[in-house]
Amino acid sequence: MRGLFQNRDFARLFAGRVVTNVGDSLYFVAAMWLVYDLTGNATYSGIAGFLVLGPSALQAFAGPLVDRWNIRRLLVGTQLVQCVVIAALPVAAHFGYLSVWLVLTVMPLLALLNQLVYPAQAAALPRIVAADELVSANSLFSLAYQATDTVANALGGVLVALVGAVALFTVDAVTFAVAATLFAFVTVPPAGADDDDDDTVPVEGGGTPAADDATPVATDGGADDTAAPDEAAPDEADPGYLADLREGIGYVRGTVLVPIIAGATVVNFAAGGSVMAAMPAFADTMGGSGAYGALMAAISVGALVGALAASRLEDRPFGLLSALAFVLSGVLWFAGLAASTTGSLAATAALFTVAFVPIGVSNVLLSAVVQSIVPERLVGRVSSVLGSAASAAMPVGALVGGTLTEVVGPLVLFGCAGVSILGLGAYWLSNARLRGLAAVGDIETLSA
């Protein structure tokens, strides 16, 4: 992994990822807790979760824009807009206008912008690192995501109690400005002109060269924009936005990605959106904002450890490994719930941590599979289609979960999440196509 940081563009993209994730994580913890604290009602937490997660269902519509626009400009622009939007909260607080409704308004705006950010980063990776480095690169990106989540979630609840959410919002605005500066110095080469249109692109050999081999590194942050690298060549007919969108969806249709999405949809409803909405109320029974930060951090730590371990497991059969990972995660999740009934925050957090290790491994390997097989010019679209389809159930889960938490309590919602994770493992084991997926480097096609 150390060799990746010798690639200056990867190092800058990675640094920007770390900084912007710090802002995202601190804001999310502060905003979700603030909504619950202002209202004392988990239903509002569900509404907040719905507003944060709802835009993820629109991610597929961002894909064609990512593949058509200059990626560097897109990354810089989204960070600057996020900086302005988040700064509105401390300004409103200063003048006495901060309310739960303002927080609920800002949350979906930031979430909408992130639907462009993450597909853009996914599309940039295979253009600036070699094909045989993709698993390691994705592990590092997942590391950046989970590590910052870990720190921010662990400290977020405590900092809200000590200094207030407004102070965290001010820090968030600064982080987005810093991330914009870092992204401004990333050079992203154009997508490979000789990509085939089918999904039989080899995983190894003939991979994407590192950015320094394709385009000189910009020293002033602007040298590569004159060629508008993410736009089609002048002599190529522009098929249009809708045609690009259809092409991305069409690529996914008929591949093994469809059953993967189907299983993920159910889990994201029960273990994603519902748990997010129920977590503040669950944590409130175990100590308040500090417990909320600890439990959110526990989940992030587990996914982080899994991301780090993924590169050591890339030579194992991906299908069977994922199936067993989900079964193990479900069992450990129920163990964590049992520990919570004893009132032990430490035991609960520890078991939640271990429960998310296998999930972290599977997520990183799946990202590497998509980026290795899908033609470069389609990576943004396919990544966004997958993100949109898999995440579509999460906002609904948050809305339902928040409402049900007020009726049956958070423990029941957490139990349903465990059942869904176990069910996903059983689903992978029963599906011969999923169960039989080879190791990442040996998968040559995604066709079902």
Q: What is the pLDDT of residues 257-276, one digit of tens each?
A: 788 888 888 888 888 788 88
Residue 81 structure tokens: 């807009």
Cα distance between residue 208 and residue 193, in whole Å: 11
Is residue 66 pLDDT above 60, yes or no? yes
Tell which residue, 280, 316, 319, 285, has the closest CA to residue 296: 280
Of 430 and 135, which is predicted with more confidence? 430
Dihedral class, residue 228 (left if φ above 0, else alpha if ψ from -120 to 50, else beta): left
Domains of the chain, first to last: 2-192+241-442 (1.20.1250.20)
Q: Which of 76-80, 140-144, 193-197 has the lowest mean pLDDT?
A: 193-197
Tell me how far CA of residue 409 lies from CA of 41, 43, 89, 146, 415, in angstroms. Answer: 12, 12, 31, 28, 11
The stretch 312-331 carries a mean pLDDT of 89
Q: Given the structure tokens 């590092």, which residue do they identify?
A: 140
- Residue 2 is predicted with a pLDDT of 63
Between CA 63 and CA 446 the distance in angstroms is 19
Q: pLDDT (tens digit, 9 = 90+) per residue, 283-300?
A: 888 887 778 878 887 887
Cβ atoms of 85 and 110 within 8 Å: the answer is yes
Angle at 327 (CA atoms; ends 325, 328), nearest 5 degrees: 65
pLDDT digit string, tens, across residues 13-56? 888 888 888 777 777 777 887 788 778 888 888 888 888 777 76
The 10s digit of each residue's pLDDT in 114-152 is 777 777 877 787 788 777 777 778 777 776 676 676 677
pLDDT at 333 over 80: yes
For the chain, how far is it from start to end, CA to CA, in angstroms? 32
Question: What phi and psi values does residue 46 have, to the nearest 5 degrees?
Answer: -65, -40
Contact of 319 with 435, CB cutoff 8 Å: yes
SS3 255: strand
At what angle are helices 289-310 and 8-39 packed, to 10 degrees? 150
**Mean pLDDT over residues 250-261, rounded?**
79
447 phi and psi angles, rounded to 5 deg: -60, 135
Q: 391 or 308, which is more confident?
A: 308
Does residue 423 register a pLDDT over 50? yes
89-102 pLDDT, tens digit per residue, is: 888 888 888 788 88
Beta bridge partners of 255: 447
Query: In sequence order, what DSSP letters do the residues of 353-372 get, joined into one string?
Result: HHHTHHHHHHHHHHHHHHHH
Residues 171/204, Cβ–Cβ less than 8 Å = no
Reference 59, options 389, 393, 370, 377; nearest CA is: 389
pLDDT digits (tens, 9 = 90+) for 366-412: 877 777 777 767 776 777 777 777 677 788 888 888 889 888 889 99
- In this model, does residue 220 exceed pLDDT 50? no
> What is the reported pLDDT for 331?
95
Mean pLDDT score across all residues of the chain = 77
Element (H, E) at 91: helix 71-94
In this structure, of 39-48, 57-66, 172-181, the range with the lowest mean pLDDT score is 57-66
Global model pTM greater than 0.85: no
Residue 146: its pLDDT value, please? 64
Task: Read off the tokens for 148.
Answer: 């910052």
* 8-state DSSP, 436: T
CB 340: neighbour CB atoms within 10 A? 22
- Residue recorded with tokens 């010798």: 6
